[in-house]
A and B are shown apart, each in its own frame.
Chain A
């Protein structure tokens, strides 16, 4: 099979692209630092301005861009495989919306101003609350459809509560801050954000990454998969909690970044022979490439206007998705 031969090549190319974009991300910024200088500063012991910019501003931004992109790509691929639905995306389980609500409440109550980590911690709490509700509703024998419905309900409720917070916001500045946070951005994130979110994302990756064989078996439906030795409850637990840990942490530090988790698995699926287990690593690397690229572009397109990352991914992602739908229309009919 051609997909068998091409698969290692595809992963190598994606990994190389991710690395290149990571390095490029380190060299783009308002402080025009030459590439050689920036790399030297990153690995030197000096504590001059260049080293400070590299280590405290650009390095965390690049690391978070790569990790969050990988999270969105991986969880999108895992959820599409688990729910056997090409429209599934990380936001579907209500985790992004609830993490956003947690963050909004932290801004609204002024907690985030009092203590810097209050915002990501509140967002993580929101993500955990969402996943507990979804899991409780779906139950032991719930199955994919109930997980989707529970996710929609949680998303709607979290959205309504976010609107309420905006509605009742004490002053226009708080409302503006809430709005801007929800647009999704990697600007001014520090290594503290990396240390806070990385463990959750890594745990989530391990949980989602272990699903490969189960997702392959689920291609033939949940009952056939169960008859092939797949424990459906375990799969549901890993899919739901793996998404919650990784996407919850990603949303907590960067806000909601849409379309990456939906579009990236779609683009890569034909290139891996549609096999769900192979899509997982490919989609993780692809997601990292897309978010790193988008984060580089927001800095190049409008350096002084603080264009938000989530806005860019949606503006580029939505028309692209339309084109994908148009292209695959024949095979869907």
Chain B
């Protein structure tokens, strides 16, 4: 089953067109990196798929027309890791992660043993178990990011949309997060993550979608999307290309001479 299909998606924000008739589909088992310069429309794309913005076009989630789904049905199909790491109140880490279970619980029901097991597993995978009792607002930026990622994992959905999930993480936790997304894909789930680090995108994603000025300009395996020409034309940078352990390495070196 196609987890996400987008056709002719257009979005205007305050009369300014941001996305033009975008189309792509996400199959189970893909780890897709959404790349493109600042302002290209990556976040807008993720948010319009979640119905957080008014958009034109067709979006289907888990085989159902997204426009006909209510918030709860959407929450059973797709989890969202927002760019803003907002935690409004001084609540414990454990409670933040457990919020991921709320779409699966009826009414005022308490967490079941199964819920607790999923929450514990999510905390283990994001390496936040050690501070499960700490106050979430007192954590460092990177720790907070991992707690919120654990929250999204606890939602336990076939599809995960993540907006710049690696921003503010140290290299070890960046790689750990990429490995985690890779293992989710291996389990038959799919991840769509917007990324600015082309090195991580090249090395870990199974597929890249390059967006520029609201249009998809390239879509395919990392090696075919990240080329000297595309980096020069879209990002305006020269990069070094290499290979290690069978995976591509891309490292931006300098601004391209116009």
Contacts and interface: CB of A to CB of B under 8 A. Distances in A.
Size category, B interface: 35 or more
Q: Summarize B's interface: helix, strand, loop or mixed.
A: mixed
B100 A228 contact: yes
B96 A226 contact: no
A274 B75 CA distance: 25
A275 B135 CA distance: 11
Interface in A205-224: 212-213, 216-221, 223-224
Interface of B: 47, 50-52, 54, 70-72, 74-76, 78-80, 82, 84, 86-92, 94-96, 99-100, 102-103, 108, 133, 135, 148, 151, 155
A211 to B, nearest CB: 12
Nearest to B155: A228
A223 to B, nearest CB: 5
Contacts of A224: 80, 82, 86, 148
B91 A273 contact: yes
A183 B174 CA distance: 58
Contact of B90 (A1, A212, A213, A274): A274
A240 to B, nearest CB: 19
Given A220-B151, A223-B52, A273 B102 contact: no
Contacts of B155: 228
A84 B54 CA distance: 24
B79 to A, nearest CB: 7
A18 B13 CA distance: 51
B99 A220 contact: yes
Contacts of A1: 92, 94, 133
B6 to A, nearest CB: 17
B148 A226 contact: no
Interface residues of A, number: 28
B91 A226 contact: no
B95 A275 contact: yes
Contact of A221 (B84, B90, B95, B135): B84
A219 B88 contact: yes
Contacts of A228: 75, 99-100, 102-103, 155
Interface in A246-272: 269-270
26 contacts: A1-B94, A84-B89, A212-B108, A219-B87, A220-B87, A220-B88, A221-B86, A223-B47, A223-B52, A224-B86, A226-B50, A226-B52, A226-B71, A227-B79, A227-B80, A228-B102, A229-B75, A229-B76, A229-B102, A230-B71, A232-B71, A269-B89, A273-B91, A273-B95, A274-B91, A276-B89
Interface of A: 1, 3, 84, 141, 212-213, 216-221, 223-224, 226-232, 269-270, 273-276, 331
A256 B115 CA distance: 45
Contacts of A276: 89
Nearest to A331: B90
Contacts of B86: 84, 220-221, 224
Contact of A213 (B71, B91, B92, B102): B102
A276 B102 CA distance: 14
Given A227-B75, A227-B80, A275-B89, A219 B96 contact: yes
Nearest to B105: A213
A232 B52 CA distance: 10
A305 B52 CA distance: 56
Nearest to B89: A274
Q: Which of A3, A216, A270 gathers the greatest number of chain B CB atoms within 10 Å?
A: A216
B75, B76, B79, B135 interface centre (most CB from chain A within 10 Å): B75
